[in-house]
Amino acid sequence: MTDSTHAGRPVRLAVDAMGGDLAPGPIMDGVACALRADKALTVVLLGDHDVVTMFADVHDRCEPHPTTEVIAMDEHPASAVRSKKDSSIVVGCRLVAEGAVDGFFSAGNTGAMTAAGTLVTGRIKGVARPAIATVIPTPGPPTILLDAGANADVKPEYLLQFALMGSAYSTAALGVKEPRIGLLSIGSEETKGSQLVIEAHELMKDVPGFIGNVEGTDITSGVVDVVVTDGFTGNVALKLMEGLSKTLFKELKTAMTSGAASTMAAAVLKPKLAALRDRLDPDATGGAPLLGVNGVVLIGHGSSGERAVTNALRVGAAVVRNDLVAHIRDAIAASSEA
Amino acid sequence: MTDSTHAGRPVRLAVDAMGGDLAPGPIMDGVACALRADKALTVVLLGDHDVVTMFADVHDRCEPHPTTEVIAMDEHPASAVRSKKDSSIVVGCRLVAEGAVDGFFSAGNTGAMTAAGTLVTGRIKGVARPAIATVIPTPGPPTILLDAGANADVKPEYLLQFALMGSAYSTAALGVKEPRIGLLSIGSEETKGSQLVIEAHELMKDVPGFIGNVEGTDITSGVVDVVVTDGFTGNVALKLMEGLSKTLFKELKTAMTSGAASTMAAAVLKPKLAALRDRLDPDATGGAPLLGVNGVVLIGHGSSGERAVTNALRVGAAVVRNDLVAHIRDAIAASSEA
């Protein structure tokens, strides 16, 4: 993450202490670690009164903001957001809307975060649908994939906006000056793909950095900085990658630990494999922003632990300091005028 | 592949000697190997006169069938199939339609194979759209994924038929008695997913073996025997798996061969890793059938070499002996009556 230009600019991030399968313990550990790493970071901690006040009491630059409700992982997103006004997710998104914080992170219900980000924080003017952008490791610099699951059904115009927003995120979060953008399809020719993709390709032709269609192999090859797709395909791809990496490492372990000579050889290689595994771990980024809303809203994996939270807050502070939201606003405004 | 019950039943398969990036050499090597392995197999070799007659002259149970045209890998599928009536792809599909052979394999232009299979071999009565079924390795028995790319845009009714056809293929090719079928989505609840998937879920409820929605992680987990999806998502998933496996093994190699101790340790583990890589290699199956046409039409990867061709012909002979087409015909007929 390139935050060097603005390192030190004070940033206030709200964090949902109640969100995710492991909350609150490992979430708080991640907050503590992030506060130690970034001396210009202040965290506003949302959640159960006792939990957040106790933690804030013993940590500098940490303010408690008790909330009385929790949206569970399996609740229906839109109705939960409507009915639970004092839930940590709704309050966090409201604090962003009010400008009381620069951003908000939760590892809670992804659908509820998407709904609250869209309805409570609110969309940037001109944005049709916010999209979740996720960072995919490649052998070189990482690639941004969006939409990772906010919109199962999209229109060609949405994909055009995803391209603009993804490009702004690539610059703000990863420091890529002129991001190369690819449209995910099933053939590189512009006539290949679904009707949706063929129409989107036509709309995207004038987008700076657009290199045309890319295929499934290109998601992890590093050939582009931004891969644009609908939230159905993007979510399937993301979960497939997680599943396949896990399966491969498991099989690798089995292959490597059968037989004495292998076990010894495996011990030598263990640190290197751990480093590779680490790099492929989704926790290395930790938070996926909901792009297109009026503020930095970061969604964590349900299984987010200390490392994921620490990294999510690092990404959050970086994109705040690099004015991500202003860049998206400008890109969407320029595109509407064109 | 379970072909034990009918082993020995004579099978005639046509093979496109001109199809694929490596043709004809490695294709012929694969044919030779398949003929050695299966004494009840006869191959009808399609392609350039000199190539096919010379090969047939020196191999038992191999008949030359010269063709005068070739559809290139990058030609427009439908127009190539219409204009090149004496191409190996069109002739192969016609031989299947005429009952002159039991099946046809080509590693050539996938789009042209799909078009020729649909138009020349012809659809099974009641089938709306043929689909490409591919075998995905998992830690346990493999999973069938379809559609792998024949139909970028589908309707809920097509997905229902894909489920029935994929189930029949799972039984005929892999010997699974009661295949478990999953509908690929972005959440396990039946209300989750795109409009297409939500409607397809409703239609599929009464399909024997249907267990509901599965997610991207489940493509490689082995939790179902058949994963049903549209040809856009299926093709992206397939290519993503190929790309990710390749990237991971490459990074693994780099990690393992930096430093003397690592290099020695890696040498010990090499055979085991090779076995794992082998199992994940798409060539282990070699041919993906176009399900829903009136015969066995198998499509190979463009990069198919000897091993892929040998395995494709093994799969081809197995599904002929296990009456795949008759089972699909019955399943579609039963579904139309329901």
Q: Which of A238, A240, A273 sits opposite B255 (nearest CB)?
A: A273
The pLDDT value recorded for residue B66 is: 98
B132/A contact by beta carbon, under 8 A: no
How many Cβ contacts (< 8 angstroms) between chains A and B? 173
Calculate the average pLDDT of chain A: 92
A72/B contact by beta carbon, under 8 A: no
The pLDDT value recorded for residue A332 is: 96
Mean pLDDT to the nearest integer, A128-143: 93
Closest-CA residue of A relative to B192 is A152
Q: Tell me how crowded residue A178 is: count the other CB atoms within 10 A of its CB.
A: 11
ipTM for the predicted complex comes to 0.92
The pLDDT value recorded for residue A282 is: 66
Q: Give start and end residues of each alpha helix (H) in B142-221.
A: 156-174, 195-204
B89/A contact by beta carbon, under 8 A: no
CA gap B13, B51 in Å, rounded: 18
Residue ranges in chain B whose pLDDT is less than 70: 1-7, 260-261, 282-283, 338
CA gap B105, B289 in Å, rounded: 9
pLDDT band at A134 (very low <50, low <70, confident <90, very high): very high
CB A51 within 8 A of CB A25: no
CA gap A122, B250 in Å, rounded: 44
3-class secondary structure, B334: helix
Instruction: For A272-320, write each residue's pLDDT tens digit.
Output: 777 777 777 766 778 899 999 999 999 999 889 999 999 999 999 999 9
pTM: 0.93
Give the rounded percent of residues in chain A with a pLDDT score beyond 90.
78
Nearest by Cα to B40 from B13, B8, B4, B15: B8
The pLDDT value recorded for residue A4 is: 45
CA distances from A302 to A130, A283, A291, B55 (A): 20, 11, 19, 59
Given a cut of 60, whether residue A1 has pLDDT beyond it is no
Q: Do A272 and B251 touch (CB under 8 A)?
A: no
Task: Assess whether the previous peptide bond of B139 is cis (omega < 30° from 0).
Answer: no
